[in-house]
Structure formats: structure tokens, C-alpha cells
């Protein structure tokens, strides 16, 4: 099932969320930024960084993930309440229930949260810089996060 503008505790609304899996629930929290900017700034200098708009998306995911971990029991209860409400036929957070209906997840098991940030444009000549930045962020965060330009996202879904 998927949602738009899903509230995540006190961290605000996540652009999109997808609840999935069997047995334990996996939640993809997705932040979407525009495509009007290059993914990486200052690519020829030592201090190459992700664009500020993309960094904002990463920060939003970090805050939502931290909230889900520091409030794990209440967060788990809340997302299972939302799931059950949608499975019962009500719509919340612009929800869409997939054709199979119920996720058949165990509400007593931990919830796995994965972050996704999509934004900016890929520059093929800077592939190595983008890859290095992406790998460094993913390693430093210590939790699953997908960091994609619009180009890489569109390539992935083709």
C-alpha cells in the first residue's frame, strides 16, 4: 500500500511512503526533490557536495528514521493502525491499497524502515564523484537509504 504526505511523528510529512512485505512490515519513506539542479556541486574541487536541495531530502529521511527508532513501539503501533485502517476500506494519507489487499504482516514484529531520496540530475562525466558521495553517505548513516538522481530513478524503473 502507498501513501502521500504521510505524517511521521513530530518530523513532518514524508512525500511518499510504501508499506510492503510479509511477516514483518517494511516501510519505504520517500522524499522527492526537483530535477532542476545537478546532483553534485563543485565537482572539480576537493569539496564536492550534494546539492543543498538533495541534502535537505537526506536530512528529512534521517530525522524520520531517527524518530522511528527512538519511538519504535509507538511508531510500530501507529503504522499498523494506519495499515489496518486502509485494509478495512478507509482512506488515509491519500492511500492506495494494492490489488492483493492485506499485507499479512505480524504487528508484534519490528518494522524495517528504508529511506529513499530522489532528486537532481546525473552528470555522466561525474559518475565517479556521484558514486563516491553516495557510498560515503550510505556508509556513514548506518541504515538502508537509496540516494538517486532522477536519471538513475528513471533508469531503474524502465
3-state class (DSSP) for residue 11: coil
Contacts of 93 (CB under 8 A, 6+ apart): 3, 4, 5, 6, 7, 17, 82
Q: Please give the model's pTM, rounded to 2 decimal places.
A: 0.92
Question: What is the chain's pLDDT, residue by residue, as a tens digit (158 residues)?
Answer: 999 999 999 999 999 999 998 899 999 999 999 999 999 987 665 678 899 999 999 999 999 999 999 999 999 999 999 999 999 999 999 999 988 788 999 999 999 999 999 999 988 888 888 888 889 898 898 888 999 999 999 998 88
Amino acid at each position: 500500500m502507498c501513501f502521500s504526505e504521510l505524517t511521521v511523528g513530530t518530523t513532518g510529512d514524508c512525500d511518499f511512503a510504501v508499506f510492503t512485505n510479509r511477516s514483518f512490515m517494511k516501510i519505504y519513506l520517500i522524499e522527492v526533490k526537483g530535477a532542476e539542479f545537478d546532483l553534485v556541486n563543485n565537482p572539480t574541487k576537493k569539496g564536492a557536495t550534494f546539492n543543498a536541495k538533495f541534502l535537505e531530502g537526506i536530512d528529512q529521511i534521517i530525522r524520520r528514521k531517527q524518530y522511528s527508532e527512538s519511538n519504535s513501539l509507538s511508531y510500530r503501533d501507529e503504522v499498523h493502525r494506519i495499515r489496518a485502517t486502509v485494509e478495512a476500506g478507509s482512506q488515509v494519507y491519500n492511500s492506495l491499497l494494492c490489488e492483493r489487499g492485506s499485507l499479512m504482516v505480524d504487528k508484534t514484529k519490528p518494522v524495517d524502515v528504508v529511506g529513499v531520496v530522489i532528486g537532481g540530475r546525473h552528470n555522466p562525466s561525474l559518475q565517479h564523484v556521484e558514486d563516491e558521495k553516495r557510498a560515503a553517505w550510505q556508509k556513514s548513516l548506518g541504515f538502508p537509504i537509496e540516494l538517486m538522481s532522477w536519471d538513475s530513478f528513471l533508469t531503474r524503473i524502465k
